[in-house]
Amino acid sequence: MKRGDVSSMDNIKKYFHGIGLLEKLEKIERTVEALEREGKRIYPPHEKRYQAFNRTPQERVKVVILGQDPYHRPHQANGLCFSTEKGVRLPPSLKNIYSELEADLGFKAPENGDLTFWADQGVLLLNTILTVEEGLPLSHKHLGWQEITRAYLQKILLGRTPVAICLWGKEAEKFFSPLQEHIGEEHFVLKSNHPSPLSANRGFFGTKPFSRINQFLTLKGISPILWSEGKILMRQGKA
């Protein structure tokens, strides 16, 4: 079995033992499975539901990027926030993320929306809600996923390993607010507007999150993230 390919939640149970949440996680899982038996189409598919945890286990996390809930259209969600399956048209927010990446670093953005290579380097791409019903954004916001994902993040912060945290938009800031007390000097929090087309021009573009994260990691003696394998872009007025 490859890392990140899971058919159950067995691989992640260890993260919730001893903090009273394993039973709640199992209850959510039963609820989602019941919805599927009723004929509801749930995203991401079960084998990728816990992709963020398995691709980027707590002990390997360098960076946290928070999303809200998975993409709700067919063939998009792959268990990593903002990420899509290969071959899928880029969603607007991811297009803006790639535009900022190119402006920030001067490298051509990835050619597809699959951000698994970020996750494999230590970027936790975590939706605060891990499932959604097809065509119904935020349809699972009342299942209790936020308690699970917030507890996972809390354990990372208490580990005292330097971590950069990206809070893109008011919803991410609101979700993260209870965890502020666990932010120490060893961590780095970046706040900006969401990369959505509705807000990117009002405080996401120009914030240079990718270079700032790598500067932080380098300062802490941690290897930086390779955000893109694309070629260096030709800058206007430069050879």
Distance from C-alpha of 69 to C-alpha of 79, rounded to nearest angstrom: 10
User: Which stretches of the chain are assigned E, i.e. beta strand?
Assistant: 42-43, 63-67, 123-127, 132-133, 164-168, 188-192
206-236: b (≥16 Cβ within 10 Å) or e: ebbbbeebbebbeeeebebbebbebeeeeee
Contact predicate 217/208, CB 8 Å: no
Task: Take residue 149 and report the two structure tokens written for it.
Answer: 């994902």
Contact predicate 119/55, CB 8 Å: yes
Residue 36's φ and ψ, nearest 5 degrees, are: -65, -40
Catalytic entry in 69, 104, 114, 120: 69
Q: Which residues contact 138 (CB under 8 A, 6 or more apart)?
A: 68, 69, 129, 132
Is 69 a catalytic site residue? yes
Q: Which residues contact 56 (CB under 8 A, 6 or more apart)?
A: 119, 120, 122, 123, 124, 125
Within 10 Å of residue 39's Cβ, how many Cβ atoms?
Answer: 6
- Which residues are tagged catalytic? 69
